[in-house]
Structure 1
Amino acid sequence: MTAITAPATVATDGLLRFAMRLDAVLVGVTGVPFVAAAGWLSALTGIPVAVEYGLGVFFLAYGVVVYLLAGLARVRPGGIATIAANALCTVGFTAAAFAGVWPLTGWGVALLLGGAAYTAVIGAVQYVGLRRL
């Protein structure tokens, strides 16, 4: 007589958790200079100082929250929220770069488009991780 056993389940949330943690660390670390050197960044980019401070605080909070979400037993809801946030940031950064609401310098346009590219790529990686669940 042969016993039939179900194959061991394999965790498939590794990519999503990794991408969320990587995103949290990179964005959180990016928030530090936005807060610490907002005036200098504003002069370099043309983005108003208040917006630089606001982005810096948002980046710091985002980093903490997303890192905590990546550690939850059920990572799916946090992953969906993180992917949505990255999609919104991609659209927002792109719109800000081309809308003409601020007197952006070349560095400012590059910063916003670089941020849009980053959020699009990391969001896509997180989406792939979500689909693997």
Structure 2
Amino acid sequence: MSSQNASTVPATGTARSDGLLRAALVADVILTGANGIGYLALATVLDSLLGVPLPVQYAVGVFLTVYALWVLTVSRQEDISRGAVTVVIALNAAWAVAGVVTVVLDALTATTVGNGWIVFQALVVGAMGAVQYAGLRRM
């Protein structure tokens, strides 16, 4: 096994083993990017609905938008880096856990709708990380 095969997956060949992973990464880009842009563009509208302070929404919006762009970069590489994907999966897992902990601790004093949204996001991000992990194992 060459050192290239140990850390990346070639994009060429008759059967691509990274199709599930690429699809999961693209889904992450779309959902995370839309979420980040939504927080930035609609923060003043979401403020009263979610009960999350504007500075938090803006910070989360910037983070999610930048993160989505980075995941897009990872997904577009001819040879997907296992290390980069491992970081994506770890960050998604951390985001999911942090979301649940935030609600349990009432750290943001969000509204009921806001807490529901945070938990929903945690579940979606956790599921996305699980699919990415499955895709990584197929490589």
Q: Which residue in the other structure is 2:50 paired with?
A: 45
8 A Cα contact 1:70 1:78, kept in partner: no
Deviation of the 1:101 alpha carbon? 1.8
Query: Take 2:51 and 2:87, find their aligned partners in 1: how far apart are those partners?
Result: 30
Query: In the alignment, which of 56, 61, 82 is matched to residue 88 of structure 2?
Result: 82
Deviation of the 1:9 alpha carbon? 5.9
Q: Which residue in the other structure is 2:5 paired with?
A: none
Query: Take 1:104 and 1:23, find their aligned partners in 2: how far apart are those partners?
Result: 25
Higher alpha-carbon Rg: 1
Structure 1, unaligned runs of 5 or more: 1-7
The alignment partner of 1:32 has SS state of helix
1:12-27 matches, within 5 Å, as 12-27=17-32
Deviation of the 1:30 alpha carbon? 1.4
- What amino acid is the match of 2:32? V
Q: Which residue in the other structure is 2:123 paired with?
A: 117
Moved over 3 A (4+): none
Q: Which residue in the other structure is 2:109 paired with?
A: 103
Q: Which residue in the other structure is 2:40 paired with?
A: 35
Deviation of the 1:36 alpha carbon? 1.1
- Root-mean-square deviation over aligned CA pairs: 1.3
Query: Take 1:16 and 1:78, find their aligned partners in 2: how far apart are those partners?
Result: 12
Query: Take 2:48 and 2:56, find their aligned partners in 1: how far apart are those partners?
Result: 12
1:16-61 Cα deviation digits (max 9, x unpaired): 1110011111110111220012122121111111110011111111
1:85-128 Cα deviation digits (max 9, x unpaired): 10010011111111122221111111110110001110010000
- TM-score by length of structure 1 reads 0.89
The alignment partner of 2:17 has SS state of coil
Alignment identity in percent? 33
Q: Which residue in the other structure is 1:60 paired with?
A: 65
Query: Take 1:73 and 1:26, find their aligned partners in 2: how far apart are those partners?
Result: 22
Query: Take 1:100 and 1:106, find their aligned partners in 2: how far apart are those partners?
Result: 11
- TM-score by length of structure 2 reads 0.85
